[in-house]
Chain A
Amino acid sequence: MGSPTPSSARHEDGAVDRRRFLTVLVAAPTLTLALSAETAAPADASSSVPQPADIMDAGDALILAGTPTAHLMLVLEVAENGEVRVELPRAEVGQGITTAVAMLVAEELDVPLGKVRVRLADARPELLLSQLTGGSNSVRALYDPVRKAAAAARARLVAAAGELWDVPAGRLVTRGGAVVAPDGRRAAYGSLTTRAAKLPLSRLTAKPKPESEHKLVGTPTSRVDARAMVTGQLRYALDIDVPGAKPAMVRRPPTINGTVRLVKNETAVRAMPGVIALTVIPTGVAVVGETFGQVMDAVEALDVTWNAGTADSLSDAGIRKRLRAAVLPPVVPPLTGHIEAEFDFAFVSHAPLETNCAVADVRKGRAEIWAGLKSPILARQEIAAALGLPERQVTVHVTQSGGSFGRKLFADAAVEAARISKAVGRPVKLMWSRIDDMRHGRARPASHHKIRATYTRGKVLTYEHRVAAVETDFRHGVGEMLTAVATRLPVAGNMSFAQAVFHLSVKVPYRFGVVTELLKEVPLKMHTASWRSVWSANTRGADEIIVDELAAKMRKDPVEFRREFLKTARQRAVLDKVAKEGNWGRDMPAGFAQGVGFHDEYKSCTACLVEIDARNPKKPRVVKAVIAADVGRPINPRGLEAQLLGGLTDAISTTLRAGLHIDRGLPLEGSYSQFHYARQKDSPTDVQIFIMPANGEPGGAGELGVPAAVGAIANAYARATGTRPRSFPINFDVDFTPFPR
């Protein structure tokens, strides 16, 4: 499928008019549209920034930043065989965006879902800020453009049939991938594409269907890629057959960001079986060979002396001390009833099951890269810079990712693979070992929290939450996207970029009087990245724990207390739903308890109720979870439930057992036997998820599930054990022998 560029965007009469159909590529016999009709949002991102910070969130900001190019976002083709192909400028990392988009297209065009093929677009620099997967914004940003593009295609096909039969378009309907006339005549879309592509534009009006007519959108639908997944046919980056591409791995330093001083046994390693090439790159020593098994052996055999890294003297205790020193003090004097607490959260690896990886084919004067990338335009820039090539010589293909959780916002592996390919003069498949992925990959930064709330006579007067966190690396494009928008926010003072994002993504959903939540970052030279829900898992998780403790102080039931202080009926409805379905307050045997949490972000809200078995406080298990979510307008409730299930599992893991210990400049954990992400034995045998009926526009949902579940699990644990958890994960012993450095 050829990607059109803005320069080809013109009417058939030659006039460029962005308010109407931008591009119709007449590539008959295929009808191709690269447009959205009448994009509603203004091109000037600055004009519509709402004033109060809490009516705008980070997802809004990303959408707004992407608005100037949103109309270019989609390439949609109707092919002669009746297939509808969509090229999507987003990454599929497991969140099901390809299914959601296919559903929107199928709905609008009246074609069976199976006829819609969604492909991930290569990096398209003309999209500027519209090709980034993050901030739970994909459905929110794509909902209108996708429907409009599909509606435009449908209008053309109907008009083409009308012309063919000489029947007014208004009397024709579409059904099952065909235009149908009142007398029963039927023309399959495939037969109309040539004619449809040639139509003069002025004759067309295209409006998406009213939502009340949606038949597919909003109904539980299985993933369009599920069959490929269960048969092993889905191709991830390293499964792609790039001719001549050979396995490559890197021997990495004993501390983060260490560099190679000397390779002592280069000749011996080059002579090992299956070794093809060896090269020193900025991040270590790369070995290329015939099979990964042989490359692993060679990497292992390397004897290297290293220069120091950038965090060699840092261990957990020291990092915690710096965070505690950095956290800003609360300012409201605790004169009335009050509650004060401090929390610590450890580093957490993203640990996608597919380790960092990429395929690169760098030749003289050009480069081609395949990788799972959520910010491919920036990746392309970085790769070009690393190779010393003009950007236009670099092609970046976005592949299916084996998970991301924030990790694939960065192109670390793609850049590395490109450097190696250039150095060894042949295409390579770069794979990080699991140990390296945990130790030298990115992590959610550790954070420290100080909370003070004051109350009197049944009212919460003030709520202050101060966060100090190791700096989160935002140099992946979100920074560029948000800077313009965020700096206009009416928040006083000289906000750092991270503080701006913090304000765009974290808010207390309760009427707690004067509320302030502030972030202070501590820059340490470690590899960090936002992790599903960014600061919300920790910040809002801690909030929800304090909410329970406030309720106890004020002698109220945790659900009743939340009901009373939540701001909207929509919020109370999800809370009521879990309380009812989860049988809140039922008697539990000793060592078991229920816990509840609530969260509101990106125009969605959710409540989570769990039951925990903590008879052995060292080995607690969440045995049941009941979740309710209101996302405004669910596109695919089944996919949404999957996202909430994933968020729940993330919360179980990070609250109870999964984290990284930093020891003298390196995480100790190097495997899932050490980084205790939940397994089947840790996950509940009873999970019920309720999606509230549509009541507005789609909100964000990819990260929504984590914070409420963190609160619910911690609260259940506290109740079951009679403790007050303050440090997470709760059970965090070094219960393993670390791998050698």
Chain B
Amino acid sequence: MPRYTFSVNGRTVTVDAPADLPLLWVLRDRLGVTGPKYGCGIDVCKACTSHLDGKAINPCVVPVSEAQGREVTTIEGLADGDKLHPVQEAWLEQDVAQCGYCQPGQIMAAVALLRQTRNPTDAQIDAIENVCRCGTYFRIREAIKSAAAKM
């Protein structure tokens, strides 16, 4: 079985895994990194959204082989120790989460968006496709705007 070495939230890991095994299952089932959630497995719901070299990806459809030598960041790696990322802070300030299941993905998508643009427009926020079945969208929008204002 091929062997892959990459970093997860700043820690170097090595796993033996089939090349086409989706990264999501390497993270969750092999490495115990359970922040990224399964919601569809086919790049639709975006619950698994994480970052590969700082860009948003959906690890349910990214094979582990693509992570070789690169940096994977999940929701667990966003804060700096006890110091939350400004987007996480904004999520607390707006009390966004209900069941919370989509929120790791929502936050990672928002962070990626704010890396691209400092002041996202409503249209850019609309383009975030992450499903929130609890319907927290309005608070997500407010939190993104609030984080943008502070960052």
Contacts and interface: CB of A to CB of B under 8 A. Distances in A.
Interface in A354-376: 354-355
Which secondary structure dominates chain A's binding surface? loop
B95 A642 contact: yes
A231 B137 contact: no
Contact of B126 (A274, A405, A680): A680
Contacts of A433: 41
Contact of B38 (A352, A355, A646): A355
A293 B40 contact: no
B132 to A, nearest CB: 7
Nearest to B45: A672
A355 B39 contact: yes
Interface string A313-356: 00000000000000000000000000000000000000111110
A679 interface: yes
Interface in B115-131: 122, 125-131
29 contacts: A94-B98, A94-B101, A222-B92, A230-B84, A230-B91, A230-B92, A231-B35, A232-B104, A233-B76, A292-B38, A294-B21, A352-B101, A353-B132, A353-B134, A355-B38, A402-B37, A402-B99, A403-B134, A404-B99, A434-B41, A642-B98, A645-B138, A646-B98, A647-B135, A650-B135, A671-B42, A672-B45, A683-B138, A684-B138
B39 A434 contact: yes
Nearest to A689: B138
A404 B39 CA distance: 14
A95 B38 CA distance: 21
A268 to B, nearest CB: 17
B18 A273 contact: yes
Contacts of A96: 98
B102 A353 contact: yes
B100 A402 contact: yes
A293 B99 contact: no
Scoring A403, A648, A650 by chain B CB atoms within 10 A of each residue's CB, the highest score goes to A403
Contacts of B21: 291, 293-294
B6 interface: no
Contacts of A232: 34-36, 74-76, 104
Contacts of A653: 135
B28 interface: yes
Contact of A235 (B34, B74, B132): B34
A434 B129 contact: no
Interface of B: 17-18, 21-22, 24-26, 28-30, 32, 34-42, 44-45, 47, 74-76, 78-79, 84, 88, 91-92, 95-104, 107, 122, 125-141
Contacts of B137: 649, 678-680, 683
B39 A403 contact: no
Given A230-B100, A291-B17, 17 more contacts: A94-B100, A231-B76, A231-B79, A236-B101, A274-B18, A291-B26, A293-B25, A354-B39, A354-B101, A355-B38, A401-B99, A403-B133, A639-B95, A642-B98, A671-B40, A677-B133, A680-B126
Contact of B25 (A229, A292, A434, A672): A292
B136 A642 contact: yes
Contacts of A142: none
Interface in A661-696: 671-673, 677-681, 683-685, 687
Nearest to A241: B32
Nearest to A227: B92
Nearest to B101: A402
Contacts of B102: 353, 402
B76 A638 contact: no
A232 B32 CA distance: 12
B138 A672 contact: no
Which bracket fits the contact residues of A?
A: 35 or more
Contact of A229 (B26, B78, B97, B132): B97
Contact of A685 (B79, B104, B139, B141): B141
B140 A680 contact: yes
A229 B139 CA distance: 15
A491 interface: no
A564 B75 CA distance: 52
A296 to B, nearest CB: 7
Nearest to A225: B100
Contacts of A404: 99
Nearest to B94: A222
B41 A677 contact: no
B47 A353 contact: yes
A463 B128 CA distance: 45
Nearest to A247: B29
Contacts of A230: 75, 84, 88, 91-92, 96-97, 100, 103-104, 107
A642 B34 contact: no
Contacts of B133: 351-353, 403, 405, 677
Given A95-B98, A642-B95, A685-B141, A353 B135 contact: no
A576 interface: no
Contact of A403 (B99, B127, B129): B99
A552 interface: no
A536 B32 CA distance: 42
Contacts of B38: 238, 292, 355, 431
Interface string A229-265: 1111111101101000001000000000000000000
A94 B95 contact: no
Interface in A427-443: 431, 433-434
Nearest to B47: A353
Contacts of A684: 138
A274 B16 CA distance: 12
A93 interface: yes
B1 to A, nearest CB: 8
Contact of A679 (B17, B24, B104, B131): B131
A223 interface: yes
A238 B38 CA distance: 10
A232 B74 CA distance: 9
